[in-house]
A and B are shown apart, each in its own frame.
Chain A
Amino acid sequence: MISQIVSAVGVVIAGVFACALYYWLSDKLLQIVFPVPKDNVRAASVNLNRRAVVRPWLFMGPALILLGVYLVYPVVATFILSFYDRSGGSFVGFANYRWAFFDGQFRQSIFNNILWLAVVPAACTFFGLIIAVLTDRIWWGNIAKSLVFMPMAISFVGASVIWKFIYEYRSGNETQIGLLNAIVSFFGGDPQVWIAMPFWNNFFLMVILIWIQTGFAMVILSAALRGIPEETIEAAVIDGANGWQIFWKIMVPQIWGTIAVVWTTITILVLKVFDIVLTMTNGQWNTMVLANLMFDWMFRGGGDSGRSAVIALVIMAAVTPIMIWNIRQANREMGGH
């Protein structure tokens, strides 16, 4: 174990050094290939121009290679693989898509994903907004915010263990050590195996993501609330608006853009939800979602790259509108610069 730590530290140092060396060497090389002679102004300016043309690509080279190999190429390759059979060897046309259309588990996953999409972003944004408004009004609000924000740091797997313990069920007359069943028993109800209740178990899994992501929504919405110009609220108060009206008619419309950002960010996260379902149920009891189904098909029976590619493309298709909107937004901002 010690040797592993030593080698890891060594690799970190070597890696950083190699990176730095690349940029330094490429810069030196550039100076050697395109020299700037002191006595020849013409040649100097030509070579300076050449350096300026090449240098950006040297600076961006490693980043572009990584992006190309790990993100751009795979998107294209996944698209192509979706038309091939399980080993990627022979062309099968739309067979994988046809399979997906008629597959019960695939439809179950789509249904569950839609359920997640309908509940989680809305719940996170709603709770985040409420908590942001409430904590902004009290002196210990920052401590409260920290506590709500804290689950953001916890891994989905860690959060799953935490919540599995809450949903823990013990049969018969044994003492319930899961908090939820203990509360249910305390009020005279029957303890339930929460994560094995079809349909409703989806919501018990969603609670975990809501618990994690509400802090994110809260932090961003809280910043947006603070950015609201005071005059608008003062004017509303003078006009005799009550708290409810001020919140819904003055404050919420002004942070609409931020709400949309929070909503879409969580939407993207929800589309990729994987860890929680894997660790809580592994898709059993009708909780399968697309990312897990895809992972399942990647390895099931030696793996079926065609079918899992189709599932990945469905996730990609769902993300695409958000992607286009983001690019447009970024372009507009840069045009304004």
Chain B
Amino acid sequence: MNAVAGLRRIGLPRLIVHLSVLLICIIWLIPTLGILVTSFRDPQQITSSGWWTAFSSASQTTASRLADPSAARQEGPNYVISGSVFEAGQDGTVRAFGTRVAAPAEFEAGQAADLGEGETLTINEDGSYIYTKNAPFEGERGRRVYLQVATPPTFTIQNYNTVLTAQGIGQAFVNSLTVAVPSTIIPILIAAFAAYALSWMEFPGRALIIAMVVGLIVVPLQMSLIPLLRLYNEIGAFFGVPSRSFAGIWLAHSAFGMPLAIYLLRNYIAGLPKEIIESARVDGASDFEIFLKIVLPLSFPALASFSIFQFLWTWNDLLVAMVFLGTNREQLVLTGALNALLGSMGGRWEILTASAFISILVPLLVFFGLQRYLVRGLLAGSVKGG
């Protein structure tokens, strides 16, 4: 409350604060909202109007053909053709119509349009039309008309159906899970043991190892890629197994997350009360038992924080997956599949947005469900650590 209370005393007009925060929220939310809305829209509507108009009627220019001259009835001196410009099942409201492609909205709906040569055409909003002429109609085919039709907003889950089955996003989703879950659980266990040793056991070289771990946190992934790719290829060739496998990427992810995991967990485990661990030792518990029965349960918050990080990082990763899992369709993770779709489905936004939303759905659920642990982990990693 201290700084907050202090700021209250500064006393900027509160309304401005509220409005600017609201503006910031809108700016930050709009991009994601855009793809969410678009992913539920009809592909035709996506290309004909911006997503921000999705909830109002979309205006579209279409062409239609009136009935054949043979359908004309004689009413007094005039010949009349009537009917509907809409096909059966088609829905919408006619805003305007025209008879030339250059002027598709020449006349307002409901207004009688004088087309010359004694012809009049009226198209009503509901699509019904009356086409009259003071002489018999000629020709074989019905007249072509252009319509400006307002179609009510339609939302569909068809896009999701398409991407999950036809575009391989369903498979990629399973692949992402297959990569991310073991890559989260394995390093945590390994790092927790190491962190315990680095916190509560005395041995020569401890400070050196801690310094090394801290240093390795920032080593760029790029440094590891070339030698590891060569190593993987050699191992694959030597044992006659594919060099790119799920096992390979699990180990890679585990190792790349290891420095931060050890560092975070060590900070936490070293801060556990000394008395608990020493009294357990006096009672004759082995280090293995102390770790399993005392340290692990007590470190739950730190373990949770790190596993969220590691899960988000492995789920969202593209580079490691591209190098260690390859770009075969069957082995693509969601990010890789999305990247491939960006190349092959450039303008097909219904596909891209639905795929993107599927790929960010799991992280968003994790984020909103476990935000508390995420924030705690960030603070432990940055503020205390320096």
Interface residues in chain A, defined as those with a beta carbon under 8 Å from any beta carbon in chain B: 1, 4-5, 8, 11-12, 15-16, 19-20, 23-24, 27, 52-53, 55-57, 59-60, 62-64, 66-67, 69-75, 77-78, 81, 88, 131, 133-138, 141, 144, 146-166, 168, 175-179, 182, 211, 216, 219-220, 223-230, 233-234, 237, 242-243, 246-247, 251, 257-258, 261-262, 265, 268, 271-272, 274-275, 278-279, 290-291, 294-295, 298, 305, 308-309, 311-313, 315-316, 319, 322-324, 326-327, 329-331, 333-334, 337
Interface size on B, residues (CB 8 A): 132
Most buried by A among B21, B30, B214, B217: B21
Nearest 9 pairs of A and B residues by beta carbon: A230-B2, A233-B6, A70-B255, A155-B316, A243-B10, A77-B227, A153-B367, A63-B194, A59-B197
Give the tally of cross-chain contacts (CB within 8 A): 381
Which one, B75-83, B94-102, B145-153, B376-384, is touching chain A? B376-384
Select B34's contact among A20, A166, A228, beta carbons within 8 Å.
A166
- A261 and B382 contacting across the interface, CB-CB below 8 Å: yes
CB-CB < 8 A to A337: which residues of B? Answer: 270
B71 contacts the other chain (CB 8 A):
no
- A246 and B217 contacting across the interface, CB-CB below 8 Å: no
Chain A's closest residue to B349 (CB) is A165
Given A66-B255, A154-B316, A228-B2, are A1 and B21 neighbors across the interface (CB < 8 Å)?
Answer: no
B67 contacts the other chain (CB 8 A):
no
B118 contacts the other chain (CB 8 A):
no
Q: In the bound complex, what is the Cα–Cα distance between A326 and B225 (angstroms)?
A: 24
Q: In the bound complex, what is the Cα–Cα distance between A137 and B18 (angstroms)?
A: 9
- B209 and A223 contacting across the interface, CB-CB below 8 Å: no
CB-CB < 8 A to A151: which residues of B? Answer: 28, 32
**B interface majority secondary structure:** helix
B191 contacts the other chain (CB 8 A):
yes
- A148 and B50 contacting across the interface, CB-CB below 8 Å: no
CB-CB < 8 A to B211: which residues of A? Answer: 327, 330-331
- B2 and A330 contacting across the interface, CB-CB below 8 Å: no
B244 to chain A, nearest CB (A): 13
- A312 and B34 contacting across the interface, CB-CB below 8 Å: no
CB-CB < 8 A to A154: which residues of B? Answer: 32, 316, 360, 363-364
Chain B 206-229, CB-CB to A under 8 Å as 1, else 0, gives 110111111111111111111111
Interface residues in chain B, defined as those with a beta carbon under 8 Å from any beta carbon in chain A: 1-12, 14, 17-18, 20-22, 24-25, 28-32, 34-35, 38, 46-52, 170-171, 174-175, 177-178, 181-182, 185-187, 189-191, 193-194, 196-198, 201-203, 206-207, 209-231, 246-247, 250-252, 254-256, 258-259, 262, 270, 286-288, 291, 312, 315-319, 322-323, 334-335, 338-339, 342, 349, 352-353, 355-356, 359-360, 363-364, 366-368, 371, 374-375, 378-379, 382-383, 385-386
- A74 and B359 contacting across the interface, CB-CB below 8 Å: no
- B3 and A165 contacting across the interface, CB-CB below 8 Å: no
CB-CB < 8 A to A73: which residues of B? Answer: 227
